[in-house]
Structure 1
């Protein structure tokens, strides 16, 4: 476990660019009110986290629909 940080860092490809985060935030801010997703993804390592998050978003939207606060969800909440 002592080298876990190093092993995780090795998963990030050398071409990863931190400006991707800024571009994703700018894209999110530019979206019309009421259309923004629950969250956005930047994943240069392609570790599958985007797929996991999409499933989580859908399950959260389904759950909110069952318990009532689905009015808090937007059109992009369950991509």
Structure 2
């Protein structure tokens, strides 16, 4: 019975980490779900935590570019028009 309790605690901890990663990521769900399956796998959730940001200035927009740390490719851009 003791091993069962420890297993449940570990399972709950991993589930909490998984949910925290999804909720705290600035990326939209559609970007995190890289294979477009409708379900975010554990690997996809972990990848979503490995992003960086950089500022971009376009003609009449200021953007925050979220990029994958593993290769530097852009994952998502959040742009706001200049006033």
Q: TM-score, normalising length from structure 2?
A: 0.29
Higher helix content, 1 or 2: 1
Q: TM-score, normalising length from structure 1?
A: 0.30
Which structure has the larger Rg over C-alpha atoms? 2
Higher strand content, 1 or 2: 2
